[in-house]
């Protein structure tokens, strides 16, 4: 079967700890910027499977996917679709993935300070209300 996917699909895990009310962010090796933990969805890969694989590889944690919280397409860039999922840790031990320089738990209200960029308004409001 021919690959007819027209978008690069980026899946992002917003990993939330309900006990501490903090979210996990990371910094990729060679990248000075913090971000949510993300990866590309492979062609013919189920969203939930891809999300759990990416978060396990980057953080060491197995996560529970609580559902999609935001999506945005970037036609002006390169036909990119980003889908954000709220996740909680199911089990595992924190361990930086091979391409991850650093992981950090932060208050949701501090996300834009770490990211050094503005988030889409609806996503920002959702994340802030987690705290």
pLDDT over threshold 70, residue 62:
yes
Which tens digit of pLDDT belongs to each residue from 34-57? 999 999 998 889 999 999 999 999
Of all residues in the chain, the percent with pLDDT exceeding 70 is: 92
- Residue 70 falls inside a structural domain: yes
- Residue 22 falls inside a structural domain: yes
Which tens digit of pLDDT belongs to each residue from 90-104? 999 999 999 999 999
Number of domains in the chain: 1
pLDDT over threshold 80, residue 125:
yes
Of the candidates 9, 3, 5, the one whose C-alpha atom is nearest the C-alpha of residue 80 is 9
CATH at 81: 3.90.79.10
Residue 118 is classified by DSSP as P
**71 or 4, which is more confident?**
71
Give the domain extent around 78: 8-128
- Residue 2 falls inside a structural domain: no
Q: Where are the beta strands (DSSP E) in 1-131?
A: 8-17, 22-28, 34-35, 37-40, 61-74, 80-92, 100-106
Radius of gyration of the chain (CA): 14
């Amino acid at each position: 079967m021919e690959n007819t996917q027209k978008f690069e699909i980026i899946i992002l895990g917003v990993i939330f700890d309900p006990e501490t009310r903090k979210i996990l962010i990371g910094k990729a090796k060679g990248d000075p910027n913090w971000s949510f933990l993300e990866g590309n969805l492979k062609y013919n890969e189920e969203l939930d499977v891809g999300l759990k694989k990416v978060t396990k590889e980057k953080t060491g944690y197995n996560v529970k996917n609580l559902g999609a919280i935001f999506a945005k397409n970037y036609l002006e860039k390169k036909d990119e679709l980003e889908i954000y999922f709220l996740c909680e840790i199911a089990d595992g031990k924190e361990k930086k993935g091979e391409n991850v320089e650093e992981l950090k738990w932060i208050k949701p209200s501090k996300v834009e300070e770490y990211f050094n960029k503005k988030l889409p308004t609806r996503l920002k409001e959702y994340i802030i209300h987690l705290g």
